[in-house]
Amino acid sequence: MKKLMTFAIFLMISVATFAQQALWGGQEIVSPEIKADNTVTFRLNAPQAIKVEITGDFLAPTKTETPYGVFDLPGTADLIKNEKGVWEYTTPEPLQPELYSYTFIVDGAKVTDPSNVYMIRDVASVTSVFIIGGERADLYKVNSVPHGTVARRWYESSTLKITRRLTIYTPAGYEASKENYPVLYLLHGMGGDEEAWIALGRTAQILDNLIAQGKAKPMIIVMTNGNVEQEAAPGESALGFYKPSMRMTRTMDGDMEQSFPDIVNFIDNNYRTLKQKSGRAICGLSMGGFHSLHISKEYPDMFDYIGLFSAAIIPNENAKSAVYENLEEKLKVQFAKNPKLYWIAIGKTDFLYKANEDYRKLLDNKGYKYIYYETGEGHIWKNWRIYLSEFVPLLFR
Amino acid sequence: MKKLMTFAIFLMISVATFAQQALWGGQEIVSPEIKADNTVTFRLNAPQAIKVEITGDFLAPTKTETPYGVFDLPGTADLIKNEKGVWEYTTPEPLQPELYSYTFIVDGAKVTDPSNVYMIRDVASVTSVFIIGGERADLYKVNSVPHGTVARRWYESSTLKITRRLTIYTPAGYEASKENYPVLYLLHGMGGDEEAWIALGRTAQILDNLIAQGKAKPMIIVMTNGNVEQEAAPGESALGFYKPSMRMTRTMDGDMEQSFPDIVNFIDNNYRTLKQKSGRAICGLSMGGFHSLHISKEYPDMFDYIGLFSAAIIPNENAKSAVYENLEEKLKVQFAKNPKLYWIAIGKTDFLYKANEDYRKLLDNKGYKYIYYETGEGHIWKNWRIYLSEFVPLLFR
């Protein structure tokens, strides 16, 4: 065996690694570098570039003219090239606790940071991400607490006649327990899918942390796919690696609402759940808030807890389905059954603010009870993470 | 309600989407575009760039000098700028069926393709990916077949005294069945983690497809983390979003091998498994092949099926543990118990080829039975996907 021992395995693996790193652009530079004072330095190795900028949600928004009107979009900042050909930018002020997203613009090409392996997809856009800890943002981090299980699992929708994918969070201790658990159904917005809440929403981290702190009851979270023509998230179905798009044609045609009991039945048949209204909650963001509104009123005995996060409220004339007819009559039935919580949240600058204001007036006029939670800013994931972490402590009490 | 109906929700969502897309660089161009004849066009919008290249494993390798010696590394090709500022490159020949990886080099910055949301991380490097279908590569695609469940789940290692993360595949039908299932333990290489096989390895797709074709028995696959100082993959532990590195210090210190029964016990206690040698297989790539070799000989009654994929065979002097001593005596015990399959695979140009050749000579000299499978090329994921799809049909027969 001696001769075998002479193989310097470690060295050889290092060489193979080097080759790989050299190939794929693994760089020794660190970016982003979060300093002790929470200022952040970004770096990009681009020795021949003429201009490198950064854009991200930590930069002050600027009024930007677009074909659709003038919008407040995150600004850009210039990186400066150092003597080694590495471009740098440091935030002038410490950043507040939050999960932030950014991209570089290299001579006109918008690209992610090759030194940062952490990225999150939102529809067809991928951004680099980092977290400044502290305060609420500590809920978004993986901490040394018991961790739940996250599964991607397929169910048969007998209504839609396709097999579909779910992301399911079961809390720490679920498998070893003999108890039945309550279930929160958590719905994404237009362009999203069953990966949205677990990725940008940080659902597993928020739940692990709130449960460990005793602030939320252990619960099962079911993240559905609200695009009824899809089996699964992009890349996870037989459609292959296609380019995602917002152009979903069947997001408000009533089929999501009418096929929802397939999901509830699947979960009740496959998990130890509390199989009654008081053990079920539903909430969603934007289009998912719209779905939550309509599903909860179509099935007024199914959910005792309803959350509308920056919800699209009323469909326009393109949304044709019996589901959307007779709204007021159906709400009357729903509220007559006294749901334990009807929770509405929106940001001050959300483009759906007025629609939500009008919807609240309707509820007020009828004397229907709800809780209203308002934040700054608009139709962004920062708000949806806040809403999730405010909503779940109110459930199943 | 009429006044609410006037809200053109769809339009407004489109505007918000536009804002987001404009912000984050979602581009209307398509890249990669796979043509009917399997030539592929890559595109990058970088109007101000001076030079844009592509590097990827579909480009002919070129001898490249490095500080560690001369290596065959994938070549580069130049993209050409069109009149709209979009750079393009089309492969001169159709590509063969395979999962391919690539990056762009924009004025010296190695970046992923912003028009392609499909990326896979390998240690600290992220590349864009696409699949040319046909032949074996159809196993790597999600097809219209029953899909298994993939779960990320945490277990307590009583030996290591930390909570650790596993990726677990259960085949379609597992949950509804009352049968007990065999288990394959699938180990990654140096720098990898419990995400490696499910991402670059396409384990869920390969198993779904082989099982649907009747070529593999339904089985549970347990993807472990072979870095005993890690709780979980980068970003999935309390260490946060750190930069991954190959510099693991405790990959060959015997602790992975000695703590492995914690995993087997956890799986046997939490899944309907065949709890005997004939119902267990273990295999791994590179360092994971090394671990498979040593674990299977340390516990000769645990695994009836052993696979070494491009395995590191013998530790060097840095690997100090009783686990690695008395190899020949332990192999004698293992082979006296007649494992049903001892399978060794490697590529012709792998830097570990000679080590494997010497190891096979050792087995030959002792008259120990094994099956040998040789491919072209070297220490690359293309080969490990092939080995997995050749190995699993041989199991549990």
Assigned domain for A294 exists? yes
**B64 neighbourhood in chain A, CB within 8 Å:** 22
State pLDDT tens for residues A257-296. Answer: 999 999 999 999 999 999 999 999 999 999 999 999 999 9
CA distance B372 to B366: 16
Shortest distance between the Cα of A302 and any Cα of chain B, in A, equals 25
**B121 contacts B93 by C-beta, under 8 angstroms:** no
Do B211 and B171 touch, CB atoms closer than 8 A? Answer: yes
CATH at residue A103: 2.60.40.10
Nearest chain B CA: its distance from A279 CA (Å): 23
Q: Give the per-residue pLDDT at B16.
A: 45
Q: H-helix or E-strand containing B209?
A: helix B203-212
Q: State how far the Cα of B344 lies from the Cα of B76, in Å rounded to an integer.
A: 33
- On whether both B119 and B156 belong to a single domain, the answer is no
DSSP-based three-state secondary structure for A24: helix
Q: What distance in Å separates the CA atoms of residue A353 and residue A374, rounded to the nearest whole number?
A: 10
Among A13, A203, A222, pick the best mutation site for testing chain B contact (most B Cβ within 10 A).
A13
Q: Give the list of residues 6+ apart from residue A249 with CB closer than 8 angstroms, or none.
A: A229
Choosing from B107, B133, B159, the residue where a domain stops is B133
- Chain A with chain B: Cβ pairs closer than 8 A: 337
What 8-state DSSP symbol labels residue B373?
A: E
Rounded percentage of chain A residues whose pLDDT exceeds 90? 81
Q: Are B104 and B113 contacting, i.e. CB atoms less than 8 angstroms apart?
A: yes
Assess if residue A166 is contained within a domain: yes
Q: What is the largest CA-CA distance in chain B?
A: 87
Q: Summarize pLDDT for A11-61 with one digit per residue, the tens.
A: 344 444 444 444 334 457 899 999 999 999 999 999 999 999 999 999 988
Both B172 and B214 in a single domain?
yes
Test B312 with A355 for CB contact under 8 angstroms. Answer: no
Three-state secondary-structure class, residue A162: strand
Do B384 and B244 fall into the same domain? yes
Residues B292 and B311 sit within 8 Å (Cβ to Cβ): yes
* Residue A223 located in a structural domain: yes
- CA gyration radius for chain B? 24
- Residue A186 predicted with pLDDT over 50: yes
Helix (H) or strand (E) holding B13, with range, is helix B9-24
- The CA distance from B47 to A378, in Å, is 32
Using DSSP bridges, classify how beta strands A125-132 and A119-122 pair: parallel, antiparallel or unpaired.
Answer: antiparallel
DSSP-derived pairing of the beta strands A149-157 and A125-132: unpaired
Among candidate residues B361, B250, B352, the one with its CA nearest the CA of residue A8 = B352
**In chain A, what is the greatest distance between 2 CA atoms, to the nearest angstrom?**
88
| Domain co-membership, A196 together with A324 | yes
Residues B99, B204, single domain; the answer is no
Neighbours of A30 (CB within 10 A): 14
CA B111 to chain CA mean position, Å: 21
Picking from A11, A118, A125, the nearest residue to B25 by CB comes out as A125
Q: Which chain A positions have a beta carbon within 8 Å of B326's beta carbon?
A: none
**Which chain A residue has its CA at the smallest distance from B120's CA?**
A117
Chain A residues lying within 8 Å of B121, measured CB to CB? 117
Q: Which of A133, A151, A179 is where one domain is finished?
A: A133
The nearest CA of chain B is from the CA of A38 a distance in Å of 15
In a domain, A10, yes or no: no
Long-range contacts of A75-83 (CB under 8 A, 24+ apart): A76/A105, A77/A53, A78/A51, A78/A52, A78/A53, A79/A42, A79/A43, A79/A44, A79/A52, A79/A53, A79/A54, A79/A104, A81/A47, A81/A49, A81/A52
**Closest residue by Cα to residue A263 from A153, A151, A163, A155:** A155
Token pair recorded at residue A109 = 């090409």
Which CATH number belongs to the domain containing residue B259 in this structure? 3.40.50.1820
CA distance B182 to A315: 50
Task: Return d(Cα B70, Cα A102) in angstroms, integer.
Answer: 37
For residue B68, the model assigns a pLDDT of 64
Facing A238 at nearest CB: one of B143, B315, B358? B143
Whether cis (ω within 30° of 0) applies to the bond prior to B32 is yes
A362-391 per-position pLDDT tens digit: 999 999 999 999 999 999 999 999 999 999
Q: In this structure, is the dihedral angle defined by the CA atoms of residues B260, B265, B268 and B274, taken in order, positive or negative?
A: positive
Chain A residues close to B162, C-beta within 8 Å: none
Residues of A in contact with B144 (CB under 8 A): 238
Distance CA A102, CA A380 (A): 14
Q: Please tell me whether residues A95 and A199 are part of one structural domain.
A: no
Look at residue B21 in the predicted model and tell me its pLDDT.
41
Last residue of a domain, one of A112, A133, A154: A133
Inter-chain contact B106–A111, Cβ cutoff 8 Å?
yes
Low-confidence residues of chain B, pLDDT below 70? 1-27, 66-68, 247-248, 315-318
CA-based nearest residue in chain B for residue A85: B108
Query: What is the number of residues in chain B?
Result: 397
- Give residues with Cβ within 8 angstroms of B222, minimum separation 6: B166, B167, B168, B169, B183, B184, B185, B186, B263, B267
For residues A293 and A345, membership in a common domain is answered with yes
Q: Is there a contact between A297 and A329 (Cβ–Cβ < 8 Å)?
A: no
Calpha distance B140→A3 (Å, rounded): 39
Q: The dihedral of CA A130, A133, A135, A140: what is its sign?
A: positive
Residues 6 or more apart in contact with residue B155 via CB below 8 angstroms: B163, B164, B166, B262, B263, B266
Task: Look at A55 and B23 and tell me if their CB atoms are within 8 Å.
Answer: yes
Residue B279 included in any domain? yes
pLDDT, tens digit, 9 for 90 and up, residues A86-100:
999 999 999 999 999
- In terms of phi and psi (left: phi > 0; alpha: psi -120 to 50; beta: otherwise), the region of B171 is beta
**Which residue bears the tokens 């650790």?**
B164
Identify the DSSP state of B380.
Answer: S
Give A168 or B318, the one with higher predicted confidence.
Answer: A168
Q: Are residues B176 and B311 in the same domain?
A: yes
**CA-closest candidate to residue B154, choices A197, A182, A279, A172:** A172
Task: Say yes or no for a CB contact (<8 Å) between A9 and B316.
Answer: yes
A197 and A269 housed in the same domain: yes
Q: Are strands A341-347 and A371-375 parallel, antiparallel or unpaired?
A: parallel
Can you read off the two tokens belonging to residue A350?
């959300």
Least confident interval from A69-78, A108-117, A210-219, B50-59? A69-78
Residues spanned by the domain of B317:
144-394
Cross-chain residue pair B103–A241, CB shorter than 8 Å: no
Instruction: Decide if B314 and A18 are in contact by the 8 Å CB cutoff.
Output: no
As given in the structure block, the two tokens for residue A153 are 């699992």
Q: Are residues B353 and B213 in the same domain?
A: yes
Residue linked to tokens 């929470």: A38
Say which of B50, B73, B352 has its CB closest to residue A23.
B73
Considering the domain architecture, whether residues A128 and A191 belong to the same structural domain is answered as no
d(CA A194, CA A188): 7
Q: Do A152 and B154 touch (CB under 8 A)?
A: no
The whole-angstrom distance between A144's CA and the closest CA on chain B is 6
Contact A106 B111 (CB under 8 A): yes
* Within a domain: B11: no
Measured distance CA(A345)–CA(A373) in Å, rounded: 5
Confidence at residue B317, expressed as pLDDT on a 0 to 100 scale: 64
CB B315 within 8 Å of CB B290 = yes
Rounded to 5°, angle at Cα B378 from B34 and B352: 160
Report the alpha-carbon distance of residue B195 to residue B244 in Å, rounded: 13
The one-letter amino acid at A112: T
Check A66 against B125: CB less than 8 A apart: no
Residues of chain A in contact with residue B194, where contact means CB-CB under 8 angstroms, are none
Name the percent of chain A in helix, strand, coil, to the closest 5. Answer: 30, 30, 45
Contact by Cβ (8 Å): A183, A166? no
> What SS3 state is found at A70?
strand
In a domain, B338, yes or no: yes
Q: How many domains does chain B have?
A: 2
Tokens 């013998």 belong to B314
Whether A120 and A192 map to the same domain: the answer is: no
Greater pLDDT, A318 or A136: A136
CA distance A187 to B313: 49
Contact B154 A147 (CB under 8 A): yes
Q: Which residues of B touch A328 (CB under 8 A)?
A: 1
Residue B274's φ and ψ, nearest 5 degrees, are -85, 105
B15 in any annotated domain: no
Q: Do B49 and A109 touch (CB under 8 A)?
A: yes
